[in-house]
Structure 1
Amino acid sequence: MALARAGEAGPLWIAARRQEAGRGRRGNVWDSVPGNLAASVLWPATGIEPEQLATLGFVAGGALTEALGAACGTAPDVTEAGAERPFRLKWPNDVLIGSAKLAGILLETETLPGRRRAVVIGFGVNVAGVPATQIDRAASLAGSGYVTDAGALLAHLSDRFAAVASAWDRGRGFAGIRQRWLARAAGLGGPIAVETGTVTLRGRFDGIDEGGRLVIHAPDDTRHTVTAGEVHFGTAATAA
C-alpha cells in the first residue's frame, strides 16, 4: 500500500520469506512459519465502484483454490462428479482442508490523492507447517500429504489470479465468479451460525447473493444477508 501511495498502479506481487507482523481480518493476528506463503498483490482499482471492488475477494478465493490444485496435482477443475474437492472456500476469506483452515485472504482498499483507488489482497497459506498457536484448528499442505513449496504455489497463484480477474472483468463478470465460488463453498446447504458482533444468526447456509453477501435461511423461514461476521458450520454452528 505504501508503494501505491507513492504512485505504483500495479499489478504488483510482493512475497516474503519471513513475515513478522502478519494480520488478518477484523484485527486478528496471522502467524506464519518458515516455508509458508506470505504474499500480497496490488491490483489496479481506479474507476471500480466500491460495491464491485468488494467482490474481488471472491476472485482471490477462486484463484487460490485453483492454484492449490495445480501446485498439488489435484486438478480441482476436473474433479470427477460427486468427488470431494480437497480445497474448499469458507465465506468470506478462508480456504479449508476438511474442516481445518489452510489459508486466509485479506482485502484492503484505500482512496488515494487524485481520486485513485488502491486495493491490496494478502494471501497467507500454510504450506510447510502450522503455527503453534493454531495447531488444533489449522492444517498445512505438507501435513496433509501434499508436496509443493511456497515459490511454486506463488507462480500458479499469480497466473490463476490474472485469469480469474480477467473473467471478473472489473466486477461486470461477478455472476460467473459467484458460480465458481459456490462450486467450492464449504458447508453449503448445511447448518450455519454467524456471529456479527452484536447478534448470532442461525439457520441454513443458502450461499451468497449477487453482491457476495452470505445468505442464511432462518428456522422461521426468513432470509438474512450478512456482510461481515465469524462463520461456524455443522456442530460448531449449534454450539456457537
Structure 2
Amino acid sequence: MTASGVRIEWLDEIDSTNEESRRRFRAGEIGPLWIAARRQTAGRGRRGRAWADLSRNLYCSGLYSLKCMPGEAAQLSFAAALAAAEVCQSALADHTPKVKWPNDVLIDGQKVCGILLESADAPGQVVQLVVGIGINIMAAPDIPERPAVSLASLGASINPATALEFLVERFEHWRSVWAREGFTPIREAWLARAHGVGQRCLVRLENETLEGVFTDLAADGSLKLELAGGQSRLISAGDVFFPGALG
C-alpha cells in the first residue's frame, strides 16, 4: 500500500494486467487498486497491438470506480502520461521526458512508456476505469517504425517496484487535481511537457490520413490540427507521426 492509501498487488505472471483488472471489476472490486506483473503473456497496446514482454520492465494497471461521464474519465490518460513522465524524470537527471499525444512518453524522441485506458461495464453513473501503463525500465522493444528506449540504456537505476510506488503517488496527485479543478490544470501541465507542438505531423485515422501542424490541445483533450489553407480539425483518436520519427 502506498503512502496515499492505494493498494498495490504484484503478480508473478498474468496474461494482461488490463484483462486482470477487468476480471477483478466483474468479481466486485471497486478500487482504487494497482496490479503489476513481473511477466505478461498477452499484453496489448492501442488498437489491439501486441505489447512486447521484456524482463524487468514495469507492466501495471490501476482500477478506479469514478462517478463521471466516460469522456471525462478519458481525460485521465493525460494525468497518467504526466505521472509516468515524472517517474522517468526522477530517474534521469540529464533528460527531459516529453508526452506525445495521445498517450506516450518519449525521451529524445524515442518511446519509453505507453498508456492504454479502458473501461469495464459498470452500472448507473459509475465508470469503471482501467489505467494500463508500461514503462521500459530495463529493455526496449526493437520495432523499426516505432523507435523505443529504456531507462537503463540512458543510465538510470530504478527498479520496477520503486517506479510503481512513485507512479501511483504521482497519478493520485494528478487525479486529485482533476477531481477538484477539472481538466484545465492537467491540460496546462501536459502542454508544458508536450512533444511536437507547432510541428508538422501526419495523423492516421481509421479511414484517412491527414497532414498539418499540431497547434494545441483542445479543452476536451482533442488534438488541434491546422490543415493547409488555414482550416483546422479536432482529432479525438488517431496515431500521430512527427518528422524524424515514424512513431
Q: Same fold (TM over 0.5)?
A: yes
Moved more, 192-201 or 175-184: 192-201
1:66 is matched by which residue type in structure 2?
Answer: E
Q: CA deviation at 1:219?
A: 1.8
- Paired residue secondary structure (1:4): helix
Partner of 2:44: 23
- 1:52 aligned residue (72, 80, 88): 72
State whether structure 2 residue 229 is matched by structure 1 residue 220. yes
1:32 is matched by which residue type in structure 2?
Answer: D
Question: Is the 1:108–1:119 Cα contact (8 Å) retained in structure 2?
Answer: yes
Q: 1:37/1:138 Cα in 2 relative to 1: closer, same or farther (>3 Å)?
A: same
Partner of 1:194: 203
Q: CA deviation at 1:138?
A: 0.8
Long gaps (5+) in structure 2: 1-21
- Paired residue secondary structure (2:197): coil
Instruction: String of CA shifts for 1:47-66, please: whole Å, max 9, x gaps.
Output: 21122111111111111111
Partner of 2:107: 97
Instruction: String of CA shifts for 1:99-132, please: whole Å, max 9, x gaps.
Output: 1111100000123245543100111111001134
TM-score (norm: length of structure 2): 0.86
Question: Is the 2:136–2:150 Cα contact (8 Å) retained in structure 1?
Answer: yes
State whether structure 2 residue 57 is matched by structure 1 residue 36. yes
Question: Is the 2:142–2:148 Cα contact (8 Å) retained in structure 1?
Answer: no
Question: Is the 1:19–1:38 Cα contact (8 Å) retained in structure 2?
Answer: yes
Partner of 1:78: none
Distance (whole Å) between structure 2 residues aligned to residue 203 and residue 57 of structure 1: 24
- Paired residue secondary structure (1:148): coil
Q: 1:49/1:30 Cα in 2 relative to 1: closer, same or farther (>3 Å)?
A: same
1:131 is matched by which residue type in structure 2?
Answer: P
Question: Is the 1:40–1:121 Cα contact (8 Å) retained in structure 2?
Answer: yes
Q: How does 1:120-131 map to 2 (within 5 A)?
A: 120-131=130-141
Q: 1:156/1:106 Cα in 2 relative to 1: closer, same or farther (>3 Å)?
A: same
The sequence identity of aligned pairs, in percent, is: 39
Partner of 1:160: 170
Distance (whole Å) between structure 2 residues aligned to residue 27 and residue 103 of structure 1: 16
Q: CA deviation at 1:86?
A: 1.8
Question: Is the 1:187–1:234 Cα contact (8 Å) retained in structure 2?
Answer: no
Long gaps (5+) in structure 1: 75-83
Distance (whole Å) between structure 1 residues aligned to residue 175 and residue 125 of structure 2: 22
TM-score (norm: length of structure 1): 0.88
CA RMSD in angstroms, aligned pairs only: 2.0
Alignment length (residue pairs): 226
Question: Is the 1:32–1:130 Cα contact (8 Å) retained in structure 2?
Answer: no
Partner of 2:3: none
- Paired residue secondary structure (2:59): strand
Q: 1:167/1:146 Cα in 2 relative to 1: closer, same or farther (>3 Å)?
A: same
State whether structure 2 residue 71 is matched by structure 1 residue 62. no
Distance (whole Å) between structure 2 residues aligned to residue 160 and residue 169 of structure 1: 14
- Paired residue secondary structure (2:121): strand
Distance (whole Å) between structure 2 residues aligned to residue 217 and residue 92 of structure 1: 17
